[in-house]
């Protein structure tokens, strides 16, 4: 039936799946095949839940070696989950405080360059005061630690800005205007002296997770030892029961033979 000029043609419902497949094919050709996420948590949680259900419901029916292997597998999955969650949290914190860290790093770099130039000029000037030179050296050391603070601050912790709003680089005393986290600043100072700044930036945040994982491993070894002792006791009881059963059978058989012999002798006596 011919349609009027102003009316629109109705869409064909059979063509919708074809268009959808075409869009998916074009997307895969332009972006490549889909890959699993690097920090995917759902598969690990699913495996942990399945293993916990298996161990809680059918632990008595499982052999000892199978149960131990499943418990080790469960502990390994939990450890992997802790690492993935820590890495995901680190990426979130890096993205959240990236701009603040960048501005603090730029300001600390400018302050360090300015103080270094002043110290060099003071050293080259023979008429300069020794007390002023020592003061500039202390300020340079502090400015260098401030720069390390902005670079090597632990990535998984909430970043505390080193400089307050409204302050300028040419303030008279940069030590008075610096804020930040005093505890982390002292840690950065010790790490600078000991040469382990990278460990602090990446490894300090995983210390608690590593201790927790070690505690889980110790608990798992303890549970394995207890379950092994329990299995050995059960097997020993079963072996003892099997060993005593034939003895009891032989004793009852001997008693029956004695009764039969006595009854036979009594029959002969009365004959």
Q: pTM for the whole thing?
A: 0.53
Please enumerate in sequence order all residues whose Cβ is within 8 A of that of 228, keeping only pairs 6 or more positions apart, or say none. 64
CA angle 55, 60, 63 (to 5 degrees): 85
Taking only the tens place, the pLDDT of each residue in 136-169 is 889 999 999 999 999 999 888 889 998 877 666 5
Distance of CA 239 to the CA centre of its chain: 45
Alpha helices (H) along the chain: 15-31, 42-57, 64-96, 98-124, 130-152, 174-177, 182-194, 197-203, 207-270
**Mean of per-residue pLDDT scores for the chain:** 75
Taking only the tens place, the pLDDT of each residue in 120-136 is 888 888 777 788 888 88
Distance of CA 75 to the CA centre of its chain: 12
Taking only the tens place, the pLDDT of each residue in 175-194 is 555 578 888 899 899 988 88
Indicate whether 201 pLDDT > 60: yes
Q: What CA–CA distances, in Å, run from 8 to 14, 15, 16, 59?
A: 18, 17, 18, 67
Which region among 20-24, 58-62, 221-225 has the lowest average model confidence (pLDDT)?
Answer: 20-24
Give yes or no for a contact between 192 and 145, defined as CB atoms under 8 angstroms apart.
Answer: yes
Indicate whether 46 pLDDT > 70: yes
Question: pLDDT-derived band of residue 9, with 50, 70 and 90 as boundaries?
Answer: low
Give yes or no for a contact between 162 and 178, defined as CB atoms under 8 angstroms apart.
Answer: yes
pLDDT greater at residue 65 or residue 239: 65
Q: Report the candidate in 183, 178, 174 with the shortest Cα–Cα distance to residue 161.
A: 178
Alpha-carbon torsion angle 249, 253, 255, 261, nearest 10: 180
What is the Cβ-side half-sphere exposure of residue 163, based on CA atoms within 13 angstroms?
Answer: 25
């Amino acid at each position: 039936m011919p349609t009027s000029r102003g009316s629109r043609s109705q869409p064909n419902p059979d063509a919708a799946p074809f268009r959808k497949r075409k869009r998916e094919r074009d997307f895969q050709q332009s972006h490549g095949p889909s890959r699993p996420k690097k920090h995917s948590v759902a598969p690990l949680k699913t495996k942990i839940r399945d293993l916990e259900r298996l161990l809680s419901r059918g632990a008595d029916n499982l052999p000892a070696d199978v149960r131990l292997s499943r418990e080790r597998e469960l502990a390994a999955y939990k450890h992997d989950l802790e690492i993935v969650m820590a890495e995901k949290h680190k990426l979130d914190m890096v993205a959240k405080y990236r701009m603040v860290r960048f501005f603090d790093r730029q300001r600390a770099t400018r302050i360090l360059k300015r103080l270094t130039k002043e110290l060099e000029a003071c050293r080259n000037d023979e008429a300069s005061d020794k007390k002023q030179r020592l003061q500039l050296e202390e300020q340079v050391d502090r400015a260098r630690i401030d720069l390390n603070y902005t670079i090597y601050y632990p990535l998984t912790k909430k970043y505390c800005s080193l400089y307050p709003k409204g302050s300028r680089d040419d303030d008279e005393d940069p030590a008075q205007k610096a804020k930040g986290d005093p505890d982390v600043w002292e840690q950065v100072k010790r790490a600078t002296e000991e040469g382990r700044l990278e460990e602090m930036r990446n490894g300090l945040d995983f210390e608690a997770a590593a201790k927790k994982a070690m505690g889980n491993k110790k608990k798992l070894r303890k549970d394995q030892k207890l379950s092994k002792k329990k299995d050995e006791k059960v097997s020993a009881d079963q072996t003892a029961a099997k060993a005593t059963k034939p003895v009891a059978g032989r004793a009852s058989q001997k008693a029956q033979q004695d009764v039969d012999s006595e009854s036979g002798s009594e029959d002969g006596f009365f004959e």
